[in-house]
Amino acid sequence: MIKRIGIFFICVIVMNAASPPRRAYANNSALQNDGALFGLDISSGAVNGDRCEYTMEIPDDWRGYISVEREGLPPGSKTVEQLNIYFYQRNYGFIFLANIFIFQTRYSSEIGSYKRILETDEYDFRIYVSAAEPELTNAGEKIMYNHIVGRLGDVNFVAELFDFPEGKGPVVKERLHVNGKLTGGSVIFKSSQPYVPLRAACEALGYSVIWYGADASVYIERQGTDFTLHTAGNKNYGAVRVENSFYVPALFFIQVLKINFETDKRGNVFITERD
């Protein structure tokens, strides 16, 4: 009898260890109402911050397919908030999609390799997206799963899902400003020195920019003022090629175009013509 009881308990332990968490099989009646499958109620189409002020919108086409859970954090954690996002597969349960982490900015250098979504004066928003490829038998669910994973992998798209109270929104980092206006160009750094995209900067200044492939040179011209920058050789003013675009350092603007080139602590560059 004792032997049989021992075998029974062993079977129960093995079965429990092999089973997914019970909440993965939660009643899906809330699914029909676009509410919480488990975790947070997302029927409003948004998740509101708990320990910091933000609202994360849930795209309409995601509702009914995902669930969002707010992770309980231990005291003293460097993580201010953590949102776990799951995909709901009707024949199985929940499949992990992504973590969204919110850290205090003073810990940014200690965070690691999570992709940055955005940064405010106080908080650093990061994301980790699952690389798993689950076997989904339902064609519609498979399409939706891949769609959501793809969107979560686009940090620019995810950043647009967040809204903040006035004055507490994202700070601008590593962007190019020309004569007081923000351009579409981004700043890169090499050996801790800022480089800006030549075409974006010069066109914002009103120059025409022409690329000559025959001798790997760039010709810029504006109202009778012109200059040819040879991108190869010793007189290229430090120009570098990155993904078919040419970037130039401060030296080019200060010595050649005779205009001001300044940076701030967030890596933004401000190019301003002198009065």
The pLDDT tens digits for 119-149 are: 898 999 999 999 998 989 899 999 999 999 9
The SS3 of residue 37 is: coil
What is the structure's pLDDT at 263? Answer: 94
The SS3 of residue 183 is: strand
pTM: 0.60
What is the structure's pLDDT at 243? Answer: 78
Q: In what order do the strands lie in the sheet with 93-104?
A: 66-70, 79-89, 93-104, 123-129, 115-119
Q: Among 28-32, 114-118, 155-159, 196-200, where is mean pLDDT lowest? A: 28-32
Mean pLDDT (the chain) is: 84
What is the structure's pLDDT at 172? Answer: 80
In this structure, the dihedral spanned by the alpha carbons of residues 54, 57, 63 and 66, taken in order and rounded to 10 degrees, is -50
At the second CATH level, the architecture of 175-272 is: 2-Layer Sandwich (3.30)
Sketch the domain layout of the chain as residue ranges. 16-163, 175-272
Average pLDDT over every residue of 195-208:
94
